[in-house]
Structure 1
């Protein structure tokens, strides 16, 4: 893809997810988003912040707690005290600082949490199924949720007005009685939900160059997946934090995104490079024709109506 192709107003919007790990430098993405926005491309930024959340907890004397779901996914357990620190770090410090960085780069950025305008919403999951010492248990008191609704009209209005939304968890958790509670949500999956709602391309920026067939060998990067078999190979290869990114890729495509790229945040022009084919690109065609109900409507490993496994919370 040429630079002029990327800049074409006919291109779909792009959602850029900037990871929150220390190893991810957002500077390149900030410059790239400024370039794309200046050339008429609609961009929504979603950011993570796991490292800063952990640092905030430690300053407050709270030990970060991670739990493992029955399906082997590790995620943050977010009790009420942790949720306060999470909101301080994500919607307060990080979102404000990143929005300021974009504005300094000439981007008319607007910072939003998932609670604002009901941007990201879904039922709160206060009980999660975890594995402790090899035994399955139910942990209660969690503040997490699965995004089921995106206020795409709000985002579209901002984009139409020339603004660049900068979005972060928490999301708006529906308590079932009309009350709304801010709750934790995984940032990769938040970006996937936004990309699906906008029929946007999704770029997941992280600290590696894509999905590796051998997780320890960057030379084995899988460059693309355009068929169900190729997507299955990507899913089989994804380990650890990469598993959530590949899960998010599938969710974005199922929601309406045309393609997802998992790519390195720390290279020159990381977003433009990703849109040009640098990274692991998963095309919508990789879903094939089978896109039906599997009995696990929320993708958390639990059938509807049962206590859900942990959604994993915010990751890098």
Structure 2
């Protein structure tokens, strides 16, 4: 079994438990790919540099960062730092980790979106100058080569954006990056975050949705997922329709967070739910 683990970049997430758990899985012979986010680190770095982060809303209601050229430079800086720290943390746990970004070997490749559709003051507009992209291809051979040689890849955005034949680093969502990798490797996807899973009532942890196996349950899940969790559910759908057999949203700060997720904690979403939904 291959497991793709996305460690969230939220301030409330402590990656130490996840790194120790990765070491246990690797020691047991499991193939593990780690993917990480870093939105909080990007915002903190922008603030230190006196740059105000700008968030925009798409016509579909998704809120994301507008990445201009200056923000993209900070993005590369922040994610590079986080990647090195996670690789060092895994090395300290005895894991032979290798850090990658999506540009390396065109790990994450697709077209650059130089302009994005946004909603401002209730009106749809086109914003140009964006440095983001849509993943269309994952270099699974690169990951499988590393895994077969005993290395544990630690991957993150930016991705390799194709801008009329020129490859430039561009922003892409870390959850969707993990989803694309899990789909390519037919892996189990685990998205670790700062809550226990998806709640039917976002303000009530006792309403945890434990399992999603049918189209009806998937519809209920989508209705319940709000804000950042909505983006995670969108990423999960891409993973499950692309080839991943199962995806889990679970608490990064739990004891042995990955092992406990594999054993049943968190919200488990199965390919059958999206297959039914798309029939």
TM-score norm. by structure 2 comes to 0.99
Equivalent of residue 156 in structure 2, options 152, 164, 168? 168
**1:180-212 deviation digits (Å, cap 9, x = unpaired):** 010000000000000000000000000000100
The offset of 1:129, in angstroms, is: 0.4
Equivalent of residue 68 in structure 1, options 57, 75, 83? 57
Contact 1:124 1:143 in 2 (8 A): yes
Q: What residue is the counterpart of 1:310 in the other structure?
A: none
Contact 1:119 1:152 in 2 (8 A): yes
Q: What residue is the counterpart of 2:190 in the other structure?
A: 203
The offset of 1:290, in angstroms, is: 5.4
Unaligned runs of 5+ residues in structure 1 are 1-11, 293-316
Q: What residue is the counterpart of 2:265 in the other structure?
A: 278
Q: What residue is the counterpart of 1:140 in the other structure?
A: 128
Matched residues in 2 for 1:194 and 1:232: separation?
25
Q: What residue is the counterpart of 2:210 in the other structure?
A: 223
Higher strand share: 2
Q: What's the secondary structure of 1:263's corresponding residue? A: strand
Q: What residue is the counterpart of 2:27 in the other structure?
A: 38
Equivalent of residue 110 in structure 2, options 102, 113, 122? 122
Q: What residue is the counterpart of 2:10 in the other structure?
A: 21
**1:138-176 deviation digits (Å, cap 9, x = unpaired):** 000000011110000000000000100000100000012
Matched residues in 2 for 1:242 and 1:290: separation?
19
Matched residues in 2 for 1:118 and 1:221: separation?
38
The offset of 1:232, in angstroms, is: 1.1
Matched residues in 2 for 1:289 and 1:74: separation?
28
The offset of 1:291, in angstroms, is: 3.8
Map 1:258-269; keep pairs closer than 5 Å.
258-269=245-256
Q: What residue is the counterpart of 1:104 in the other structure?
A: 92
Equivalent of residue 241 in structure 2, options 251, 254, 266? 254
Matched residues in 1 for 2:96 and 2:275: separation?
38
Q: What residue is the counterpart of 1:55 in the other structure?
A: 44
The offset of 1:61, in angstroms, is: 1.3
Q: What residue is the counterpart of 1:299 in the other structure?
A: none
Q: 1:240 to 1:290 in 2, by over 3 A?
A: closer
TM-score norm. by structure 1 comes to 0.87
Contact 1:254 1:291 in 2 (8 A): no
The offset of 1:261, in angstroms, is: 0.2
Matched residues in 1 for 2:270 and 2:245: separation?
6
Determine if the alignment matches structure 1 residue 86 to structure 2 residue 83: no
Unaligned runs of 5+ residues in structure 2 are none
Q: What's the secondary structure of 2:189's corresponding residue? A: strand
After superposing the two structures, state which structure 1 stretch, 280-289 or 224-233, moved more: 280-289
